[in-house]
Amino acid sequence: MKLVHSGKVRDLYELDGGDLLLVATDRVSVYDVALPTPVPDKGKLLTALSAWWFEQMADVVPNHVLSVDDVPEEFAGRAMRCKPLKMFPVECIARGYLTGLGLREYNRDGRVSGVELPTGLVDADRLPEPIFTPTTKLDTGTGHDEFITFDDVVNEVGADVAEQLRELTIDIYKRGAARALENGVIIADTKLEFGIAPDGTLTLADEVLTSDSSRFWRAEEWQPGREGGQRSYDKQFVRDWSVSTGWDKTPPGPEMPDDIVEATRQRYVEVYERITGLTWS
């Protein structure tokens, strides 16, 4: 087993034989800085939630998961054995609600990533239809990731694949958002990644509809236009806390006190239990 990449919160190993092992840690990263305090069980919770979603979406698109059980013991519960893919250099983002930088763009231009939207929308409003707003993950050397248009995606991967990526992203978002909403969770937006398997199959990869790759809100507290934004289930809670400390968003990040660690863990547990209907133990 060979470590081939270490991210802020996940590590990637290449196993003998060529399979990949995607390992989720208990680290939390905000503003592109890994905080020094881990959140117990975060890696296991995200792995379990992602594995559950992969199963739910298996009839929509094949995925890269080979096993969540056949993994080295030291990573048990927080790792997935995956097929190696050739990844598309596009992050496929679906948004069903208007908030964050999208809201800022809308207030300025009346559009988000080139998509015209109705007038009069406010923060956290539901969009008439989910929109596909891809972004590049190639490092352009500027330190900034760029939104790209659908035509850019066509140029990058070809028209057929681009259309498939758009349709699959919206389909997965719609199905996931509907399922989560039944259980009291709004998925405001999410990011998906796809690749091509050695046999040429377009394949869903990465992690799916988790608190790290999505924006989650409590449905019962959803209130468009609310002062201070929506109460979030995702790591926005940690972002907000980190800013409240006066931290300047550069390394090293602040140590999280015990109550913030526990409140963060509780959010991860609650979102897992609500969405899946399973009990975390």
Which residue number, 43 or 277, has a Cβ lying nearer to other proteins?
Answer: 43
Smallest distance, other proteins to C-beta of residue 277, A: 26
Q: Which residues pair with 87 in a beta bridge?
A: 195
Binding mask 177-216 for other proteins (x = CB under 8 A): ------------x-x-x-x---------xx-----xx-x-
Binding mask 236-275 for other proteins (x = CB under 8 A): x--x------------------------------------
Gap between the Cα atoms of 25 and 36, Å rounded = 12
Long-range contacts of 146-150 (CB under 8 A, 24+ apart): 147/113, 148/90, 149/113, 149/114, 150/114
Among 21, 22, 124, 180, binds other proteins (CB under 8 A): 22
Gap between the Cα atoms of 167 and 169, Å rounded = 5
Closest-CA residue to 97 (of 180, 200, 40):
180
Which residue number, 18 or 120, has a Cβ lying nearer to other proteins?
Answer: 18
Among 8, 69, 255, 266, binds other proteins (CB under 8 A): 8
Length of the chain: 281
What's the token pair of residue 165? Answer: 């990526």
At which residue do the structure tokens 């995607």 appear? 22
122: contact with other proteins by CB under 8 A: no
25: contact with other proteins by CB under 8 A: yes
Smallest distance, other proteins to C-beta of residue 145, A: 4
Site residues for other proteins, 59-88, by CB under 8 A, read 74, 84-87
Gap between the Cα atoms of 66 and 79, Å rounded = 11
Task: Mention every residue, 6+ apart, whose C-beta is less than 8 A from residue 24.
Answer: 9, 10, 42, 43, 44, 46, 47, 78, 79, 207
58: contact with other proteins by CB under 8 A: no
Stretch of 50-58, 89-97, 120-128, 253-261 contacting other proteins, by CB under 8 A: 89-97
40: contact with other proteins by CB under 8 A: no
Gap between the Cα atoms of 62 and 65, Å rounded = 9
CB 257 within 8 A of CB 244: no
7: contact with other proteins by CB under 8 A: yes
Contact residues toward other proteins (CB under 8 A) are 2-12, 22, 25, 27, 29-32, 34, 36, 74, 84-87, 89, 91, 93, 95, 100-102, 135-139, 144-145, 147, 189, 191, 193, 195, 205-206, 212-213, 215, 236, 239
